[in-house]
């Protein structure tokens, strides 16, 4: 078979398409990332010249900066909740909807609806639900006379927000797994049934292993969602009083009144390393299993 060579017009189109993608990737992703790493070793307010301080920012963050460790715990709790509660729940709903339930399209739309909302909007909805003075939840619980301060009490507000975030994340995960389940060869399930496997055994030993590509996507999305969380807590109380997150600390230091761009960049680098640690570890394990 004769192989067709690309002409000048084809090469030009390919070069333009790839070139634009590479330039945008370098300008919007890698450029700011490398700049943040460099700035994290400086003291810079955005006006005067940066001053090299080596690892002083990191030492201050870990040993002196009070909000850092609460924010770190909240981010890890956020990630654990999404990974261990919301993600399995999304998978569960996907399995149910894959069984062609009656009104399945309605359930699917209802569960996916929160995904089209930004986390900022979810934050405003949370205020309507959890508010101490006019929230719907206190009315439902009959606590109008002695209301629970779901968003003001630092011992419970993180859990209230996680429920709202999980509400959105479940629909996202459900759609991804539902698409993966639709692609599973029905012959595999039939063969397992003929071999005497029950429904649970068929799912965990036959269906779930074929969802490995979807699992990788879900893991990456869950880690990103867990560590970049910002909108909802900022909409509720600007990420304070029990809702501290690393992303909020980055924002407060870089564009806040302090204008400590070098210090905020160091927090951003820590956040980047945490996210890469989870993702790279999982991908390396998957690649080793495939080999």
More confident residue, 107 or 93: 93
User: If you compute the radius of gyration of the chain from its CA atoms, what whole number of angstroms results?
Assistant: 24
DSSP code of residue 26: I
* pLDDT band per the 50, 70, 90 thresholds, residue 29: confident
Average pLDDT over residues 236-241: 86
Q: What is the pLDDT of residue 79?
A: 92
Q: What is the pLDDT of residue 3?
A: 52
Average pLDDT over residues 206-230: 87
| pLDDT, tens only, 178-204 | 999 888 888 887 788 777 778 888 888
Greatest CA separation for the chain? 83
Find, among 108, 104, 178, 162, the residue nearest to 130 by Cα: 162
Q: What is the pLDDT of residue 98?
A: 86
pTM: 0.84
Find, among 268, 258, 259, the residue nearest to 228 by Cα: 268
Compute φ and ψ for 72, nearest 5 degrees: -60, -45
Which residues sit opposite 42 in a β-bridge? Answer: 52
| pLDDT, tens only, 36-46 | 999 999 998 88
Average pLDDT over residues 74-90: 94
């Amino acid at each position: 078979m004769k192989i067709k060579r690309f002409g000048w017009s084809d090469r030009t189109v390919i070069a333009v398409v790839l070139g634009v993608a590479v330039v945008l990737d370098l300008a919007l992703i890698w450029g700011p990332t490398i700049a943040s790493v460099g700035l994290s070793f400086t003291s810079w307010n955005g006006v005067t010249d940066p001053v090299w301080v080596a690892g002083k920012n990191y030492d201050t963050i870990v040993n002196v900066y009070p909000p850092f460790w609460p924010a770190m715990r909240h981010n890890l709790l956020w990630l654990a909740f999404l990974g261990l509660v919301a993600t399995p729940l999304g998978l569960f709903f996907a399995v149910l909807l894959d069984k062609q339930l009656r009104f399945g399209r309605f359930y699917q739309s209802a569960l996916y609806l929160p995904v089209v909302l930004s986390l900022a909007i979810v934050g405003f909805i949370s205020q309507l639900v959890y508010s101490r003075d006019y929230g719907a939840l206190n009315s439902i619980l009959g606590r109008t006379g002695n209301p629970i301060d779901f968003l003001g009490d630092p011992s419970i507000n993180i859990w209230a927000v996680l429920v709202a975030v999980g509400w959105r994340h479940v629909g996202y995960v459900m759609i991804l797994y539902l698409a993966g389940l639709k692609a599973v060869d029905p012959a595999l399930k039939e063969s397992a049934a003929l071999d005497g496997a029950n429904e649970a055994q068929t799912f965990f030993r036959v269906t779930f292993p074929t969802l490995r590509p979807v699992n990788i996507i879900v893991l990456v999305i869950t880690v990103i969602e867990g560590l970049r969380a910002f909108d909802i807590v900022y909409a509720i109380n600007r990420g304070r009083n029990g809702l501290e997150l690393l992303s909020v600390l980055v924002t407060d230091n870089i564009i806040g009144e302090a204008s400590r761009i070098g210090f905020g960049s160091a927090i951003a680098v820590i956040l980047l390393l945490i996210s890469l640690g989870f993702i790279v570890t999982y991908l390396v394990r998957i690649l080793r299993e495939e080999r």
